Every structure is written in structure tokens, then in C-alpha cells.
Amino acid sequence: MNKEFINLLEEKTQLNSKVIKNIITLIDEGCTIPFIARYRKDLTNNAKDEELRIFEETYNYLQKLFTRKEEIINLLVEKNFLNEKVKQQINEAKTLQVLEDIYAPFKDKKSSRTSNAIKNGLEPLANIIQGLKHTTTECEQKAKQFLSNEITCVDIAIQGAKDIIAQRYADDIKSKEIIRKLINNWGSLEIKEGKEFNKNGVYANFANSTEKIKYIKPHRTLAILRAVNEKELSIKVDIDEKHILENIKKYKIPSFANSSKELVFDAYKDGLKRLLLPSLKREALATLKEDASKEAIELFGKNLKELLQTAPLVNHVILGMDPGFKTGCKLAVIDQNGLFLDSGVIYPTKPKEDIKSSSKSLLELINKHNITAIAIGNGTASRETASFVANLIKENNLSINYAIVSEIGASVYSASKIASLEYPQLDVTIRGAISIAARLRDPMAALVKIDPKSLGIGQYQHDVNQKELTLKLENTTIDLVNKVGVDINSASYKLLSFISGISEKLAQNIVEHRERIKKFTTKSQLLEVKGIGAKAYEQSVGFLRIKDGRSILDNTAIHPEDYGITKTLQKSYDVNTISESQIDTIAQNINSTPFKLQDIILELKKPGFDIRENFNQVQFASDVVNIEDLKEGFILNGIVRNITDFGAFIDIGLKNDALLHISQISQKRISHPSEVLSINQNLENIKVISVDLEKQRVGLSLK
């Protein structure tokens, strides 16, 4: 890797060159980001996975940049256009945009007017006119020298020369950058009604308005662009062209008397209006969309991380209930390890409303399996089902709690390939109930089986860059799964496939091997799995857990490569009494490093610890809400289900989540809801500020 590349990485990542070289070496050796973040802290100066992901993104971008530099240099050499000045400009370029601006003058011109003028030998005439040393009359006289079969008169010659000058202006790097900044800082977006505009539709408030490009919020950008795609709105970038033309006259054309300045100004004006502005306006819209897309994708990632790190409900036998009216309420029971035990269907709601039989069936299931918690999906008939369950618990004095669980994506899972592999004999409706129960038991393990785009988090998911969104959500899932760790004896193949170094095929091999041997008792058995070689073992083993293994170390994140120093530590020291001031000395004594030693001590103190215990805990329901009973001023509790740029959607027990607008989240001004709220956060004392029965919408406030 050349010095220039490393220097640019230093500048963009704030990491020192030694750390940068170490990370690149580790990546080239096949190490994953989770592995580097957890087990190679000494080489990265304890860089967190978030920093390493930014590094990875920057590294990939710079590789594209330097590859493109080589391509352009080779192209210019072929055309005999490369000189030292251009080469220096290319070498100093720090972005792809700057690089393409440098290359633009040398590209084959799309404008036939320019290419025709060049082909007809009018470049020398363009040079004469642009030199501003001759009067217009003198230029016209010189134009006669360029007449030919194609250039039949002076006017055609002059126009052709002006076309070349117009293109030169449009290709000029400084002019391009000045106008680009003007559009970004002072340009406006004019929004008008489109062919399919609906004055009562969702975009009605956008029409016939003007917004400064610099201040348009990302979510508004995506909404406007969606409306444009749907032909409800039309947009146009507007900039003060008169101001630009005045500056061209003032700064680009010296006021020589009797020169060809009017011809040059006309050419520059044509280059601005016909070539440069249309291009930069398209670029401004593309940049607006790209920036909005990136911000929306970041929010998706943040929401997914918060959703997946919701605390699990451990040591419970859970009943999952997928409510429904005509089709009944589907039931599924899973044990403490997530294994399916039983299923059923009851009809406690309209139209059948068979309370007696439903109560009997439910009580039989509860007693048969010693059910200790109930998860009720929050979709159709949820409120009525919750009311039935609440009454059953009260009437029978049961020591069972129930929780309302988001069922978004449950139907996607139940019809998926993963579900058919896991439960081939079960109906899709029962699989859905299993998913609901599993979400209460272990949200991460259940939700990784579903495409994150189907989980109802974030906003405008179909309007953002799909490739970047997929990568972001995948990396978010990978980083969190590895940070939490996975029980190798109970994990699905899908969950295992997110472990560092484990592909879907290897994950399936692990599950098949587990079925043959019944249970892994030591991490070293992983090497017996088909396809697991030394590298896959190295990258994955630290993130796997065995709860009742032969060694306590198998239920920790301590890597087997460190078992030797761990045993030395245990023999020589009491880990519970080691102070921070002793770390450096002890690390030296046992031939370890401070970063590694601190991690080992933490793991030995809390084997099997799940970091999700520090996050949002399960909130069991205490009452059932009916929208018809709600009034402004009511105080409720709720759970944050989704966070967007303009607010958050709160589950208060209704079919539709209620809106907590950003203006109602805090007494002090906040720029984004995520500053205060997180997915699955339990909220208390939320005030109802509006109830729309017709649209079934509720507005909330935390003020």
C-alpha cells in the first residue's frame, strides 16, 4: 500500500499509520471486523467495531478512488493528454467527484455541437476569440481562414468556436466548483403539482412550495422524491442565474476595450445554461437523495441494533398467541431453550366468541407445560385477545404475566425457507405463533431469521440505496450477534451464520453435526464439523458459548488461544480482587497485554453474561386500551416500536401505534428523536393529546 493511500486513510479515519497498516494486514489475512475488534485490540489500539466499520467503508472507497486514478492516467496516456500538471492534480484528488471533474475536459464530448466544431478544425479560432486580444470584427476576419465544405460562412465558424468555448467553461474545474457551492448553499427546490396530484393525498402539503436545498430535512427529501416517482409532484432546482452571469462578467472576462469579450460572454452564458447548470442541478438532486438515503440507512441500522439488543426473557416456558377473528387465535408453546412443545387454535373473539372452550383449552396448555409467560401479537384482534387473557389470569388467579409483542415480520418468517426447514410438519400459522413466542424469549435469535426490511423500523426503506441498506443491516446484525455471543447448542443455523467466520453452509453443517452428537460439550469439537478449518475456527470460536460444557471457559468470550494465560492467571491470582492499578504488572507477569487481560478478567467474573441484560427489559402488560375509550389528557404507558426523523411510533395496546411527534418528546429542543428514545424502550406517563376515531390515529406527548 503506497504512502499516499495510508496518509489519506490517516486523514479520513483519525487512526495512526501503524494501526492502519495492522488493520489492513488483518483484513488481508481473512480476519473479520468482529474478530479484529474483540481479539486484536493490541494491534488496533482498542478500536471499537463502529470505528472499524467506518475504516472498512473508507478503505473500500479509497480503493475505488485509487483504482479510478490509475484508469484515468492510463486513458490520458493513450490519448497523449497526460502532462505533469494534470498528473499532479490527479494524484492530489481526494474524492471521486474531484477526480471526475479533472477528467471531464478530456472525455469524448456528448455534445455533438462541440465535437463537430473540434472535428471541423475550429479549436484555433476558439483560442483566438477566447484570448480576448482581438475585436469582434478582427475575429470575424480570422474566421474566414476556417471556411470549408462543412463551415460555409463566418457565422457558422464563429458559432462553432463559441460552442468549443462553452464546453471549456462547462469543464472548468474552478467554475464548476463555484457554481456547485452556490447551488448547495443558495439553491432552492421548487415543488409543484404533478400530473397525478391528489389534493387530498399525503403529499398535499408539499405542493406549490419552495425549500432551500441546504435546509431540506432528509425525510422530506425522500418523501418529495417518492411523490415525484408517483407523478404527484414535479420538482426543479432553482438558482439565481442573473447573479452568476454578473460574476462571470466581473471575474471571468477582463474589461479590455474593443475585444471579443461579448462573444466570449455569450459562449460562457451558453455553457452555463445549456451544459453546466443542467448537469449540476441533476448532481444536486442526486446528492440530496444520496445524503438523505445515507441518513435514513444510519437510522435503520441504529433502530435495528436497539431492537436486537432488547433483553431476553430467560428461564420461562412461553406461550405465543397470534390473534385473529375468523381464523381464530393460533397458539404455540416453546420451552426455556426455545424448543417447540405444543400448539393449538382457540376462538375467544368475534365472530365465534367461544370463551368457555377457549378458556378450557388455554388452561390445559398452561397446566400441561407449566407456562410462565404469554406473548400476544399486536396485530388484528390483539386488544380483544389481550382482554380475554387478562380476564382468564384474574379469574383463575394465575401467576402468569403477558406481554404485547410486535408481530411485524412474523408472517414473513412463517412462510420462509428457514421456517419450513425448522418446522416442516407445522402449518404456517403455527410457525407465526412460534415466532411471536420466540421474540419474547430471545428477540435477537428470533428476529435474525427475518429480513430486517420487514421489521417495520426506520422509514422510506424502498426509497434508499438498497445495496447500502442491505450491507448496513447485515453488518449491524453481525456486529451485535458477535458482541452478544451465541449458544452453539440451541442456536438456529440462521443465527449461527452471523457468527464471525461462519457461512450459511458452515452453519448448517454445525446444526447437522449437533444433531448427530446430541450436544457440544467443548469448543474444540467445532473442529470436527465438516468444513471448519483452522481459520474458520479461529474467527468463530470466541463468539460461541457452551452453557454446561466441560470447562467454564467454554461459556465465555475468552478465545482458546488465550486459555493458557487464563489458567496461569487463575492459578496465581484471585480475579475478584485485581485492581486497575495492577493490570499492567500482572499482564507482564503472565506474558499477556493489558487489553487482553482486562477482557479475560471480566469474562471470568461473569461467565455466560449477556450484555443485553443492560438494555430494555420486557414490559409486561397491565391494562388493555380501547381507542373508543381514549380521551385527550389520558396518561398511558407504552413501548417505542419505531423511530423516524419526525418522531416515534408508540405501542399503547392499539392495532395502530400512536405517534409521538418530535416536538412532543422533550421540553428542550432536540434535533432527532433518537437523542432521547430507543427502540423497545418502555415509556411511562405519556399524555394523549389527540384522538382521531375516523382515521384510528392517536397523538401523544411526553411534555
pLDDT digits (tens, 9 = 90+) for 598-625: 999 999 999 999 999 888 777 787 665 6
So what's the pLDDT on residue 1?
66
Question: How many other CB atoms are found less than 10 A from the CB of residue 521?
Answer: 15
Q: Is the predicted pLDDT of residue 110 greater than 90, yes or no?
A: no
Find how far residue 79's CA is from the centre of its chain: 42
- pLDDT-derived band at 626, boundaries 50, 70, 90: confident
Q: Which domains does the chain have, with CATH numbers?
A: 3-106 (1.10.10.650), 112-187+239-301 (1.10.3500.10), 318-457 (3.30.420.140), 515-614 (1.10.150.310), 627-701 (2.40.50.140)
So what's the pLDDT on residue 622?
67
Which cell numbers hold the place of 38? 474483540
State what percent of residues in the chain have pLDDT above 70: 99
Alpha-carbon distance of 660 to 649, in angstroms, equals 6
Interacting residues of 158 by C-beta distance below 8 A, sequence separation 6+:
125, 129, 139, 140, 143, 263
Alpha-carbon distance of 199 to 207, in angstroms, equals 9
Alpha carbon separation from 235 to 282, 284, 671 (Å, rounded): 11, 12, 26
So what's the pLDDT on residue 459?
86
User: H/E element holding 565?
Assistant: helix 563-572
Which cell numbers hold the place of 504? 450459511
Q: Considering only 258-262, 288-292, 461-465, which range has the smallest mean pLDDT?
A: 258-262
Alpha-carbon distance of 615 to 617, in angstroms, equals 6
pLDDT in tens, 493-517: 999 999 999 999 999 999 999 999 9
- pLDDT-derived band at 278, boundaries 50, 70, 90: very high
State what percent of residues in the chain have pLDDT above 90: 89
Please list the alpha-helical segments (H only) found in 230-276.
241-247, 261-270
pLDDT in tens, 545-576: 999 999 999 999 999 999 999 999 999 999 99
Length reported for the chain: 703
Alpha-carbon distance of 40 to 31, in angstroms, equals 10
Residues 626 and 390 sit within 8 Å (Cβ to Cβ): no
Across 675-698, average pLDDT: 93
Task: Report the relative pairing of strands 658-661 and 647-651 from DSSP bridges.
Answer: antiparallel
So what's the pLDDT on residue 692?
93
Nearest to 252 by CA among 149, 132, 354, 139: 132
Q: Considering only 97-101, 221-225, 234-238, 694-698, which range has the smallest mean pLDDT?
A: 694-698
Q: Is the predicted pLDDT of residue 349 greater than 90, yes or no?
A: yes
633 backbone φψ class: left, alpha, beta (φ>0; ψ -120 to 50): left
- pLDDT-derived band at 83, boundaries 50, 70, 90: very high
| Residue linked to cell 475536459 | 105
Residues 437 and 332 sit within 8 Å (Cβ to Cβ): yes
Across 76-98, average pLDDT: 94
pLDDT in tens, 405-459: 999 999 999 999 999 999 999 999 999 999 999 999 999 999 999 999 999 998 8
Q: Read off the pTM.
A: 0.90
State the average pLDDT for the chain. 94
Q: Does 619 or 24 have the greater pLDDT score?
A: 24
DSSP letters spanning 464-518: S-HHHHHHHHHHHHHHHHHHH-EETTT--HHHHTTSTT--HHHHHHHHHHHHHHS
So what's the pLDDT on residue 624?
58
